[in-house]
């Protein structure tokens, strides 16, 4: 029982120890602040409360290279895209949010979900699990969701901009409730073995910090291009639901903004935004 708890319970000391052992990232520990709780309402909301408590001077002096990480064994009020509830009350899953200050005068809203999705994908690959990225922010294994990502842009009163990337990852879950059991999976269900949550998070921190740095240091196009290739949807016929309307379309392109350019049945083109659109992936 003690061993099972150690697998599923986050431990700050162990995470820092694991990070120190990751080759090539010895300096990463000095660039992050890690906050861990047994239970929280939402790691994204925890990140927002943290920003609100900072003074104007502290925000102004805050380095854009600083990465704040908020993780919890259990999340009670997690949210996904379009306000949907993300169920992660079991300590067998991982709830984590990454917070960083956006560079001043950044010309556009960053498509950081792409960086986060690639980081999740790479992390699972380290543990020999192949995953697929579903547009715009889900990670799948055999068409079942193993991870959801919610990115938010948050502004302070003095107009400083922060990015929050929230991730819910199913790790050692052996079952799910009726609402999602047909559409969800976990590392344990796919690999028939459990994974240490601290080791997984350490590797995830490594990957997401690397992709965030690439995104904001001149390699944005490369990150977006890799994300587009991983989506593997261009040229495919899919059913797209926008609000309450269902369209049969052919995907023509994924724009750098994250929107989908599709051809409708009458030959006309239409752009779909992730905020109010979903794919029916069973026909991909």
Cα–Cα distances (Å) from 96 to 72, 124, 224, 267, in that order, read 7, 16, 23, 42
Q: What is the pLDDT of residues 119-154, one digit of tens each?
A: 999 999 999 999 999 888 899 999 899 999 999 999
Q: What pLDDT sits at residue 278?
A: 80
pTM confidence score: 0.90
Phi, psi of 168, deg, nearest 5: -115, 120
Residue where one domain finishes, among candidates 229, 246, 269: 229
Q: Residues 98, 221: one domain?
A: yes
Q: What pLDDT sits at residue 116?
A: 95
Q: What is the pLDDT of residues 35-60, one digit of tens each?
A: 999 999 999 999 999 999 999 999 99
Q: What pLDDT sits at residue 1?
A: 44
Q: Residues 132, 242: one domain?
A: no
Q: Residues 207, 248: one domain?
A: no
Q: Residues 217, 253: one domain?
A: no
Which residue is associated with the tokens 């029982």? 1
Range of the domain at 252: 233-283
Residues with pLDDT less than 50, the chain: 1-2, 81-82
Mean pLDDT of the chain: 88
Domain count of the fold of the chain: 2
Q: Residues 105, 157: one domain?
A: yes
Q: Residues 237, 215: one domain?
A: no
The neighbouring-strand residues paired with 99 are 68, 164
Pairing, β 32-40 against β 67-75: parallel
Question: Taking Cα atoms as reference points, which of 200, 203, 206, 202 lies closest to residue 187?
Answer: 200
SS3 content of the chain, % helix, strand, coil (to 5): 35, 30, 35
CA distance 240 to 109: 24
Q: Residues 63, 190: one domain?
A: yes
Q: What pLDDT sits at residue 2?
A: 42
Q: Residues 146, 164: one domain?
A: yes
Percent of the chain topping pLDDT 70:
89
Residue where one domain finishes, among candidates 229, 252, 274: 229
Q: Could you count the other beta carbons within 10 Å of the beta carbon of residue 224?
A: 20
């Amino acid at each position: 029982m003690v061993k099972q708890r150690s697998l599923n319970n986050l431990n700050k000391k162990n995470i820092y120890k694991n990070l120190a052992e990751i080759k090539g990232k010895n300096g990463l520990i000095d660039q992050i602040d890690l906050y861990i709780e047994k239970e929280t309402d939402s790691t994204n909301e925890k990140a927002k409360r943290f920003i609100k408590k900072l003074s104007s001077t502290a925000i102004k002096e805050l380095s854009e290279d600083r990465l704040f990480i908020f993780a919890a064994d259990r999340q009670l009020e997690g949210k996904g895209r379009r306000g949907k509830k993300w169920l992660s009350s079991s300590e067998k899953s991982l709830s984590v949010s990454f917070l960083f200050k956006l560079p001043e005068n950044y010309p556009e809203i960053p498509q950081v979900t792409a960086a986060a999705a690639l980081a999740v994908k790479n992390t699972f690959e380290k543990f020999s699990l192949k995953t697929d990225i579903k547009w715009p922010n889900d990670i799948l294994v055999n068409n079942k969701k193993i991870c959801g990502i919610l990115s938010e842009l948050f502004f302070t009163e003095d107009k400083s901009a922060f990015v929050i990337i929230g991730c819910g990852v199913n790790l050692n879950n052996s079952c799910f409730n009726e609402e999602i059991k047909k559409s969800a999976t976990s590392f344990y269900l796919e690999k028939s073995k459990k994974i240490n949550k601290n080791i997984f998070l350490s590797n995830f921190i490594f990957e997401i910090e690397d992709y965030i740095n690439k995104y904001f240091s001149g390699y944005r196009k490369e990150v977006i291009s890799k994300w587009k290739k991983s989506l593997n949807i261009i040229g495919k016929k899919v059913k797209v639901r926008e609000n309450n309307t269902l369209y049969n379309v052919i995907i023509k392109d994924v724009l750098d903004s994250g929107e989908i350019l599709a051809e409708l049945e009458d030959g006309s083109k239409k752009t779909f935004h992730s905020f109010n659109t979903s794919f029916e992936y069973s026909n991909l």
